[in-house]
A = this chain, B = another copy of it.
Amino acid sequence: MDIRQIRLLHLRQRMRQENIKAYIIPTGDYHSSEYVSDYYKVREFYSGFTGSNGTLVVFDNEAGLFTDGRYFIQAERELDGSGIDLYRMGEEKVPTVFEYLESRVGQGMKLAGNGKVMSFSFAEEVQRVCEKTGCDFLTDINIAEELFENRPSRPCGRIRQLPIELTGETTAMKLSRVREELAKAGCDGMFLSRLDDIMWLFNIRGEDVPYNPVALSYAFLDHERAVLFIQNVSELQTDLFMIRNYDEVDVWLKNELSREQKIAVDPKSVSRFFYELISQHANAVKIQNPVMLLKAVKNETEIRNLREIYRKDSAAVIKFIYWLKKNIKNQAITEIDAVEYLHRKREEIDEFMGESFQTISAYRANAAMMHYEPVTERPVTVLAEGMLLVDSGGQYLGGTTDVTRTIVLGDISDEEKLHFTKVAAGMLRLSAAKFPEGCTGRNLDILARQPLWELGIDYKCGTGHGIGYMLNVHEGPQAVRWKPTDRSADGILKAGMLLSNEPGVYIENRYGIRTENVLLVREDEKTADGQFLSFETLTFVPIDLEAVDVEKFDERDKRLLNEYHRSVYENTSDLLTEEEAAWLREAVRPVV
């Protein structure tokens, strides 16, 4: 019997004992983190699904996993044998997790899940289902974690304080700006549980989440106090704020909050557990997280550092592409070899701290899975034909990077060329956008997609996401997508924000193409009609001309590609060997 079926069997036995009809296991730690350490991989323990987004619902006689378009192909493969049904979120006629629950429960039944891993917003939706159907919703129960055998231990890495040369702004300044925003919203204080918000505010970094340089922590601030809750209280020295133990946050809040205080919480990130706790001991006020927005707008120090880091990171990717193209014909190279070589090139950069997410190195059909990750147990050899898609990024002292190139290794079909060319056109057109302040990514998304829409193709994911500074590779509130998924996708674009720009084509079982640059929003001219914005491209890596069919470009696309390629050479050639630079010069030759 499949190990997951046995685990579900145990869970169902406990559910019966507790008279629970359905048990809900979202992805997540206690901080709404996108990536989580092994300690928190409860959903994976029961389902085998390793993607970064998915909710498992276990009933007595069935179970369903809900995930988004990036993971449809991967989830189908990974759930095989588990007995769990896959629900493809966003597809026609596929119920949401809430509709799924609603259709299967009735009067007097019990739904359950751990209130610490559920965001307030999520729990509220489940609550609504319960009210409609007459169910109860228990969130102070934790049987799925109790039955998690051989559970890894909770991570507890070192904490690093960042100097002003890296942050550009002191914690004192940041605290005062956040307090200003809270005052505007009529609040006396705020409770923070998102780890990247806390790292930004206190100018620290940690090692507790893979790829994200964050430490498990909570924070509280009001007009007098600022308190940071971390695991190793002795590691930090400061008199700017109080430091308390991570595990004492509940008790501290209970003792220190007062009924008169209006305490802001972000319903999208605070867990149900802490929302309830704060509601009981103070006046909880739901607001749009002001820290998220302040953090998203990079200051001039951060921007200066980012420009230099992106130049170096781009040079590492160029070195990698050069090596791959040069050796592919006379050397056996696997997808993982590619990952490792690229890692070594990044390691040569002084400021490098580690990858910003697990590198995607996907050969041919593997690239049709947007978030494919090569595994050592099943090595895939890359041959001198078709294309290799590599999506990777680094964490540096001075910035977080993210870049994708699809690299031609030998013969490719006319269709692959057509698709590659249209992806490049979309990427370049979005990068060249000029638009008035007030626009969101939703206004701009069509610039990247239109060349593909004209072919009847639509990639099932966003075009771009916000990017942190020495922080999470995905951050809000800005994003580029055409469909509203949640409100964060509609963050208004502000000068100083970073955005990825990564259109693609994914043909199941055949190939995948993605080209990704990172853009910095900058002020453009101010006219009688308002302040205009445009983008500065931070990424400098050639777009593979072997896959570009110039005939399929507009005149403007050609001009944009040539201008971009000129900047690639200008910004990276000083970081390359003579041999690499000579290769690059040819790789960025103007197209006509």
Contact = CB atoms under 8 A, between A and B. Distances in A.
Nearest to A457: B529
A260 interface: no
Interface string A406-445: 0000000000000000000000000001111011001111
A576 interface: no
A431 to B, nearest CB: 14
Contacts of A457: 527, 529
Given A530-B458, A554-B556, A555-B555, A453 B482 contact: no
B439 A482 contact: yes
Contacts of A447: 446, 450
Contacts of A436: 453, 458
A483 interface: yes
Nearest to A529: B458
A123 to B, nearest CB: 24
Contact of A456 (B483, B525, B554): B525
A434 B457 CA distance: 11
Contact of A529 (B450, B456, B530): B456
Contact of A453 (B434, B442, B483): B434
B446 A435 contact: yes
A148 interface: no
A146 interface: no
Contact of A527 (B446, B456, B527, B555): B456
A532 interface: yes
A517 to B, nearest CB: 19
Interface in A525-560: 525, 527, 529-530, 532, 554-556
Taking residues whose C-beta sits less than 8 angstroms from the other chain, chain A's interface range is 20 to 34
Nearest to A556: B554
Nearest to A436: B458
Contacts of A483: 438
Nearest to A490: B484
How many copies of this chain sit in the oligomeric assembly?
Answer: 2
A586 interface: no
Interface string A101-138: 00000000000000000000000000000000000000
Interface string A35-47: 0000000000000
A381 to B, nearest CB: 29
Interface in A264-317: none
Interface in A478-533: 482-483, 524-525, 527, 529-530, 532
Contacts of A530: 458
Nearest to A435: B453
Contact of A444 (B446, B458, B524): B446
A456 B433 CA distance: 12
Contacts of A239: none
Contacts of A453: 434-436, 532
A454 B454 CA distance: 23
Interface string A441-480: 0111111001001101110100000000000000000000
Interface in A59-112: none
Contacts of A450: 433-434, 447
A556 B429 CA distance: 15
Interface of A: 433-436, 438-439, 442-447, 450, 453-454, 456-458, 460, 482-483, 524-525, 527, 529-530, 532, 554-556
Give 7 closest A-B pairs by Cβ, nearest first. Answer: A456-B527, A458-B529, A443-B482, A456-B525, A436-B458, A434-B453, A434-B454
28 contacts: A433-B446, A433-B450, A434-B450, A434-B453, A435-B446, A436-B458, A438-B482, A439-B482, A442-B442, A442-B443, A443-B443, A443-B445, A443-B446, A443-B482, A444-B446, A446-B447, A447-B450, A456-B524, A456-B525, A456-B527, A456-B532, A457-B527, A457-B529, A460-B529, A554-B554, A554-B555, A554-B556, A555-B555
Given A434-B453, A436-B458, A442-B443, 20 more contacts: A433-B446, A435-B446, A435-B453, A438-B482, A438-B483, A442-B442, A443-B443, A443-B446, A446-B446, A447-B450, A453-B532, A456-B524, A456-B532, A457-B527, A457-B529, A458-B529, A458-B530, A554-B554, A554-B555, A554-B556
